[in-house]
Amino acid sequence: MNASDLASLTARPETDVATWVQPIEAAMSEYGVDTPERQAAFLAQIVHESDGLARLEENLNYSASRLTAVWPHHFYLPPDDAGTREDASQYEHRPELLANLVYAGRLGNGPSASGDGWRFRGRGLVQLTGRTLYTEAGEAMQIDLVNQPDLLLEPIQAARAAGWYWRRIDGNAAADQATPAAFQRLTVAINGDLIGQDHREALWRRAQTLLGVSGAQGVS
């Protein structure tokens, strides 16, 4: 995979993505993503998750109406009944306040007052989220992600973290199957759902072609 291939896959200028070639190659080597089948699946997933290698940090800048759509159990807007939910207008375009609420008390995070939700918001090529994953990834990569979470905004560490997470979800075993069903399982393991699956599958097909995957089943 060279800069021209990455430009084709991301639909971005070669000059914008050239800096990613070495970090991604190094991460794939470190974590055994070492066949065309594995690399095609890995590249498709990280390119989608990072919006073409352009976004390394979770966007939490939501309108009030969008908050009620994304987190309906957390937020409401009048005239709906509040129940135990928060008024979405109080969290509109307030990323830090939002993260500290929706990520509180889960993913290894403390309560909202701890600030863990914002501190350990999604970062890197696969948007690692929560104190637990930051701790586990940091220990495995031998870097201090708990105290220096912004290390995941650096291309080398962002790519390594994606490789580490790929190994954690046994991504190579799924990629080796090179079937649509296995690729869908990868999406769920990375994203939690099949969000953006059509785009992921299009990227997968393109990556297979670029890497010369022979006999690829692809996606119907």
- Segment 171-190, tens digit of pLDDT: 999 999 999 999 999 999 99
User: Residue 189's domain spans which residues?
Assistant: 3-56+154-211
Q: How far apart are CA 119 and CA 42, in angstroms?
A: 27
Taken in order 88, 89, 91, 95, is the CA torsion positive or negative? positive
Whether 24 is in a domain gets the answer: yes
Whether 102 is in a domain gets the answer: yes
**Cβ-count burial 2-17 (b if 16+ within 10 Å, e if not):** ebebbbbbbebeeeeb
7 lies in the same domain as 50 = yes
Q: Which residues pair with 212 in a beta bridge?
A: none
Comparing C-alpha atoms, which of 139, 81, 77, 74 is closest to residue 106? 74
- Segment 99-139, tens digit of pLDDT: 999 999 999 999 999 999 999 999 999 999 999 999 999 99
Whether 140 is in a domain gets the answer: no
Comparing C-alpha atoms, which of 28, 32, 25, 39 is closest to residue 178? 39
Whether 37 is in a domain gets the answer: yes
**Cβ-count burial 70-90 (b if 16+ within 10 Å, e if not):** ebeebbbeeeeeeeebbebee
- Segment 54-68, tens digit of pLDDT: 999 999 999 999 999
31 lies in the same domain as 71 = no
| Number of domains forming the structure of the chain | 2
